[in-house]
Each structure stands twice: as C-alpha cells, then as structure tokens.
C-alpha cells in the first residue's frame, strides 16, 4: 500500500467512514497485516467458482453492516470521539454474557472495547451477530481508528488490541501476534493499555471465563484510578476469570450479569456530568 493510500485510509477511519479493500491473495496478505483483518476481502483465484460466490456474499454483508439504512448512516457520521472507555474481557460463556450486557445499552453509550476468546474464524461473524442485536454499533476493531461513542470494538482473532491517547481522543491499535501474552487477543494486553492511557476515564469489566486472563490488567486499571467490576459466581458459566481478578485485588465490585449493563450506564452518565462541568 502506497504512503498516500495509507494516509487516506487512516483519515477515513478516523472520521468513522467504513473502508473495504478487495485484493488478490498476495495483496490481501499484505493489506491484512497493515490494516487488520476486518477491512480486507480476498479475491478467489478463479472467478467462475464457489469461492467467487462466497466472496460476493461476504462483500454484500460487509457493505450492509457498514452502511445499513440511511438513518444508520446519519447516526454513524454524528458519532463523536468518546472521552471515556469501557473494557470488557470474557472467555467461556462470554458470547451469551456479552449479548446480555451489550443488548441492554443505549446507542449513545461511551465506546466499549471487548476481548472475547473465540475459536479461530469466528470473531468477525460474532461482531456481525452482535451488531444485528444491539442498539450500539458492534464491529471488529481496526488499527488507527478513533474510539467513538455508541460503538463496541471487538478484538480480532490472532491480533492484540490496545489503545493510545492522542490529544483528546483514544485511538485503537491492532497488531498481529501474541506479543508475549498467553492469549491472542488478550484481556490483560488491552486492560494494561487502558490503565496506561485512560486511568480514571476508564471502566474495566471481567465476565465469565476459564483461566486468569485479565486479572493483572484489571488490577493495573484499578491502580490507575479506573472503576472495575466483575460478574458474580451465581451468574457465571465459568467463574475462574472473575474469581482470579477478585483475588488479585483488581475488582471494586462483584455484580450479577443482569446488573452490569446498568453499571456501565451509570459510569457513562458520570462521564457526561464531568464533561458538562468543564
């Protein structure tokens, strides 16, 4: 990708304008590495084939998910950079738990960054599944895009999602590989970046899951002044991740699953009050 094309792509993503690249196999590998897996569709080797039909269907789904109705396009353009962030980490039992939480949130909720451990090949489909069932927009995260209100960013498989602060905005970074973390994507990796750049402007949430991913990251978030919660044992399919986060000392409050959306809403409303007092 030429430098001018990269600059144009970065500017379009920052403005919240969807970008879809269609490329042959060789170029698709390079573009996926540069732009992230959510923005690239690979052309099949043979145009008259089953793969061609599948590619056309994938392109249609991506276009519809990006634009939807004219009303959705208008709302997408109006989304502003979110000065507050919510990070959510989940594993086993997480897809159902995430739908329960995200499905209750209004479309003007502050930006949400989510890591869900999934089997290979499911992250983009899962983002589309959630998007169809939530008032917030749900999409797979792409590097260099600004975190915006009303949007949930789901970490791509085999990529680490982090966030950095640029002036008054939070900008997502998506990079391939584990980068020293046991999981890819990793809740710890995301939460540690949120602790470093967002501090008290962030909220961390640990949902049901196996293992201890997120326990160190949410501890660092709490140390940095973030508000932190986890799902309680009674409503967790697997209590391991919430329990480890609690034992590490990173959790302010345990809540049943059905109460977590309300807690995110309260956090977002406190943020709006803080903005109004500036």
pLDDT digits (tens, 9 = 90+) for 108-149: 999 999 999 987 778 889 999 999 999 999 999 999 999 999
Output the average pLDDT for the chain. Answer: 85
Give catalytic residue positions.
91, 117, 213
152 with 64, same domain?
Answer: no
Q: How far apart are CA 163 and CA 153, in angstroms?
A: 11
Query: Do 125 and 196 sit in the same domain of this protein?
Result: yes
Task: Tell me: do 136 and 39 sit in the same domain.
Answer: no
**pLDDT recorded at residue 33:** 65
Count of structural domains within the chain: 2
What is the value of pTM for the model shown?
A: 0.73
Q: What is the CATH number of the domain that holds 113?
A: 3.40.50.180
Domain residue limits at 9? 3-76
Query: Does 127 lie in the same domain as 50?
Result: no
Instruction: Clarify whether residues 151 and 87 are in a common domain.
Output: yes
């Amino acid at each position: 990708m030429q430098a001018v094309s990269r600059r144009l792509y970065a500017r379009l993503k920052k403005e919240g304008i969807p970008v879809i690249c269609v490329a042959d196999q060789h170029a698709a590998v390079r573009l996926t590495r540069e732009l992230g897996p959510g923005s690239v569709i690979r052309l099949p080797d043979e145009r008259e084939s089953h793969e061609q039909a599948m590619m056309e269907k994938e392109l249609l789904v991506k276009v519809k998910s990006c634009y939807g109705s004219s009303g959705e396009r208008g709302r997408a353009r109006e989304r502003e950079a979110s000065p507050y962030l919510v990070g959510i980490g989940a594993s086993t039992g997480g897809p159902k738990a995430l739908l329960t939480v995200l499905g209750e949130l209004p479309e003007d909720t502050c930006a949400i960054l989510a890591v869900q451990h999934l089997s290979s090949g499911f992250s983009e489909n899962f983002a589309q599944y959630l998007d169809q069932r939530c008032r917030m927009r749900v999409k797979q995260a792409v590097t260099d895009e600004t975190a915006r209100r009303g949007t949930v960013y789901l970490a791509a498989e085999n990529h680490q999602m982090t966030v950095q602060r640029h002036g008054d905005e939070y900008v997502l970074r998506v990079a391939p590989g584990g980068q020293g973390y046991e999981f890819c994507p990793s809740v710890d990796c995301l939460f540690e970046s949120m602790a470093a750049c967002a501090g008290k402007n962030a909220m961390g949430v640990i949902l049901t899951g196996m293992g201890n991913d997120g326990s160190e990251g949410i501890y660092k978030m709490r140390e940095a002044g973030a508000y932190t919660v986890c799902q309680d044992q009674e409503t967790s399919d697997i209590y391991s991740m919430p329990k480890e986060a609690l034992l590490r000392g990173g959790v302010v409050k345990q809540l049943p699953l059905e109460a977590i959306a309300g807690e995110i809403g309260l956090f977002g409303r406190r943020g709006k009050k803080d903005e109004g007092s500036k």
